[in-house]
């Protein structure tokens, strides 16, 4: 926001040359015009900060490795902060009270600088404005010593030049002048849909083969975290964070007693640190403690699968609900000894809630909204990552007489699901993903955020069976899927026109 603010003021080229922020300019100019003497010689104060993790927090670090150091300057100083991403993730530095904002920087951008003149004494807060970063540690104090009122550090000549630049600008034709002052007060529109957007919606057919009755094994898996612009809805795009470019991430399948070596790689193009916490893993925060991976890096952990069940995995990097909402969740099935009963069809479906700047249905590129997420007010609810994923893009089908098994999970981050299939009854429900306890003949099953369930239904009658969350307002926000069942209609089961034998 402040970056745009400054961009809009580029006609005031001199202001930039003087390293003045707008408020500084505004306060300095009239005072100088009154002929006050210039203040005593002031200094350029250079500060170098990098970013990194320290004691489990994300922080700014000075050259001595001090976390979130108190930055000091005197009224009248020009401050130059050089910023560099130590771990490669994207950050910036903002001081709201002084209207200071640096450009965003990451591992690829290299170091960036922000220069500004301080005219006000006091204690101010500097922080990183990337959603969540302030909350997990990236903030500190900026102390300015001196007397605010006496702050007139601008030489008279410079003020004249500024005035000239202003005059020249006023004379320029208003229409079509990009960056005119009036633009600062224009309500922001919705940016256009990103033409580079790809499909991120996971195909529910991509279920790994059953494990069956084999002995425990040692397995090596590799996953990559990728940030990419994806299609959220027709004409609407969104910045997704993913495991292996899909939402949900790949379904993993093993058996109880297997030992897994999992390597998590974070794509070079990423701006965030990512990680994985698998609910099937005992110890180390499910892996989240030891898989915090910076862009372009990778980490490997090993774990033994001690309990059978259907488990959610997700990214566990702060702000965790942001990473989850942006698409970083999936499931791992740990089959019991001997495997699962055979069925005809298996599908992989997950539910998520998404928070956007603009209302559901807005065309264009939708930005993530951290405040709506904090308030738990989603604009979109999705099965497999996007609106229409399981109705338009991918097909689930069965024939009359076949048994369908759904691996259903809720990534969330916040909303539970009252999972229901319209026109069917779950013959078996493995509640909460517990494969050792079976419930029979269930209409709607509750699935918690970060939880899963396995359901089985024999499809007795043809038709289109809709998957919903029975909190049905959510269907209007994108949450609907379909299983197409074909085959002969048994008139003793259902008869639309009456005349059923009895």
Angle at 37 between CA 33 and CA 39, to 5 degrees: 115
Q: Return the closest-CA partner of residue 293 out of 326, 327, 270, 260.
A: 270
Q: Report, in Å, the least distance between residue 96 CB and Cu ion.
A: 27
> According to CB under 5 A, which residues from 321 to 340 bind Cu ion?
323, 328
The nearer residue to Cu ion, 315 or 382, going by C-beta atoms, is 315
CA 405 to CA 261: how far, in whole Å? Answer: 28
Residue 142: HSE in the Cβ half-sphere, 13 Å Cα cutoff: 27
| Number of neighbours of residue 188 by Cβ within 10 angstroms | 10
Residues 121 and 75 sit within 8 Å (Cβ to Cβ): yes
Is residue 314 marked as binding?
A: yes
Interface pick for Cu ion out of 231, 246, 274, 365 (rule CB under 5 A): 274
C-alpha dihedral, 171 to 176 to 181 to 184, nearest 10°: 180
The nearer residue to Cu ion, 327 or 433, going by C-beta atoms, is 327
The nearer residue to Cu ion, 50 or 242, going by C-beta atoms, is 242
The nearer residue to Cu ion, 243 or 348, going by C-beta atoms, is 243
- Going from the C-alpha of 249 to that of each of 44, 151, 348, 414, the distances in angstroms are 50, 56, 10, 18
Q: Report, in Å, the least distance between residue 272 CB and Cu ion.
A: 6
Q: Report, in Å, the least distance between residue 323 CB and Cu ion.
A: 3
The nearer residue to Cu ion, 115 or 274, going by C-beta atoms, is 274
The nearer residue to Cu ion, 326 or 429, going by C-beta atoms, is 326
CA 327 to CA 243: how far, in whole Å? Answer: 8
Q: Report, in Å, the least distance between residue 317 CB and Cu ion.
A: 4
Interface pick for Cu ion out of 78, 292, 317, 325 (rule CB under 5 A): 317
- Counting contacts by CB under 5 A, is residue 154 touching Cu ion? no
The nearer residue to Cu ion, 317 or 366, going by C-beta atoms, is 317
Determine whether 40 is exposed, middle or buried from the number of CB atoms within 10 Å of its CB (0-12, 13-18, 19+).
Answer: exposed
CA 134 to CA 441: how far, in whole Å? Answer: 48
Residue nearest to Cu ion (CB): 315
| Number of neighbours of residue 243 by Cβ within 10 angstroms | 25
Q: Which listed range, 60-68, 106-114, 316-324, 436-444, lies at the site for Cu ion (CB under 5 A)?
A: 316-324
The nearer residue to Cu ion, 77 or 239, going by C-beta atoms, is 239
Is residue 373 marked as binding?
A: no
- Counting contacts by CB under 5 A, is residue 315 touching Cu ion? yes
> According to CB under 5 A, which residues from 371 to 390 bind Cu ion?
none
Peptide bond into 413 cis (omega under 30): yes
Q: Report, in Å, the least distance between residue 243 CB and Cu ion.
A: 9
> Taking the alpha carbons of 137, 138, 139, 145 in that order, is the dihedral positive or negative?
positive
Q: Report, in Å, the least distance between residue 315 CB and Cu ion.
A: 3
Q: Supply φ then ψ for residue 393, to 5 degrees.
A: -80, -45
Q: Which listed range, 100-108, 148-156, 313-321, 465-473, lies at the site for Cu ion (CB under 5 A)?
A: 313-321
- Counting contacts by CB under 5 A, is residue 90 touching Cu ion? no
Is residue 328 marked as binding?
A: yes
| Number of neighbours of residue 290 by Cβ within 10 angstroms | 15
Q: What is the largest CA-CA distance in the chain?
A: 104
Q: Which listed range, 169-177, 310-318, 379-387, 418-426, lies at the site for Cu ion (CB under 5 A)?
A: 310-318
Q: Return the closest-CA partner of residue 467 out of 302, 336, 293, 350.
A: 350
CA 294 to CA 284: how far, in whole Å? Answer: 18
| Number of neighbours of residue 222 by Cβ within 10 angstroms | 12
The nearer residue to Cu ion, 226 or 349, going by C-beta atoms, is 226
Is residue 315 marked as binding?
A: yes
Is residue 274 marked as binding?
A: yes
Q: Give the interface with Cu ion as residue ranges (CB under 5 A).
A: 274, 315, 317, 323, 328
Binding-site residues from annotation: 274, 279, 314-315, 323, 328, 470
Give the residue numbers of the binding site for Cu cation: 274, 279, 314-315, 323, 328, 470
């Amino acid at each position: 926001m402040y970056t745009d603010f400054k961009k809009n003021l580029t006609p005031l080229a001199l202001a930039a040359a003087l390293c003045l922020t707008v408020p500084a300019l505004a306060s300095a100019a009239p005072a100088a015009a009154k002929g006050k003497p210039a203040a005593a010689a002031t200094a350029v104060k250079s500060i170098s900060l990098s970013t990194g993790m320290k004691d489990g927090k994300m922080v700014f670090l000075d050259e001595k490795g001090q976390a979130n150091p108190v930055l000091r300057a005197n009224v009248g100083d020009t401050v130059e902060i050089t910023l560099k991403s130590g771990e490669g993730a994207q950050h910036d530095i903002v001081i709201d009270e002084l209207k200071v904002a640096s450009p965003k920087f990451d591992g690829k951008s290299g170091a960036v600088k922000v220069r500004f003149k301080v005219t006000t004494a006091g204690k101010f807060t500097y922080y990183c404005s990337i959603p969540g970063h302030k909350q997990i540690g990236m903030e500190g104090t900026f102390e300015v010593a001196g007397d605010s009122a006496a702050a007139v550090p601008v030489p008279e000549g410079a003020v004249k030049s500024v005035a000239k630049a202003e005059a020249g600008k006023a004379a320029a034709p208003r229409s079509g002048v990009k960056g005119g002052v009036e633009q600062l007060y224009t309500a922001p529109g919705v940016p256009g849909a990103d033409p580079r957007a790809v499909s991120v919606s996971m195909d529910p057919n991509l279920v790994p083969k059953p494990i069956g009755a084999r002995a425990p094994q040692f397995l090596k898996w590799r996953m990559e975290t990728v940030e990419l612009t994806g299609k959220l809805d027709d004409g609407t795009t969104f910045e997704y964070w993913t495991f292996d470019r899909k939402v949900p991430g790949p379904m993993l399948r093993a058996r109880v007693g297997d030992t897994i070596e999992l390597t998590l790689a974070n794509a070079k193009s990423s701006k965030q640190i990512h990680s994985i916490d698998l609910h099937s893993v005992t110890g180390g925060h499910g892996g989240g403690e030891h898989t915090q991976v910076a862009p372009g890096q990778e980490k490997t952990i090993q774990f033994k699968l001690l309990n059978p069940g259907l488990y959610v995995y997700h990214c566990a990097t702060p702000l965790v609900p942001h990473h989850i909402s942006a698409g970083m969740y999936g499931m791992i099935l740990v089959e019991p000894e001997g495997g699962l009963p055979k069925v005809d069809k298996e599908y992989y479906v997950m539910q998520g809630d998404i928070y956007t700047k603009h209302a559901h249905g807005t065309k264009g590129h939708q930005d993530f909204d951290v405040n709506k997420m904090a308030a738990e007010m989603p604009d979109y609810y999705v099965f497999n990552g996007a609106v229409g994923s399981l109705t338009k893009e991918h097909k689930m089908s069965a024939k009359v007489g076949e048994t369908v098994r759904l691996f259903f999970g809720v990534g969330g981050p916040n909303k539970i699901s009252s999972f229901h299939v319209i026109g069917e009854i779950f013959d078996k429900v493995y509640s909460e993903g517990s494969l050792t306890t079976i419930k029979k003949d269930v209409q709607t099953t509750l699935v918690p955020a970060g939880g899963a369930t396995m359901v089985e239904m024999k499809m007795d009658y043809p038709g289109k069976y809709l998957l919903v969350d029975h909190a049905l307002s959510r269907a209007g926000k994108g949450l609907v899927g379909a299983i197409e069942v074909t085959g002969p209609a048994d008139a003793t089961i259902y008869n639309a026109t009456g005349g059923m034998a009895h």
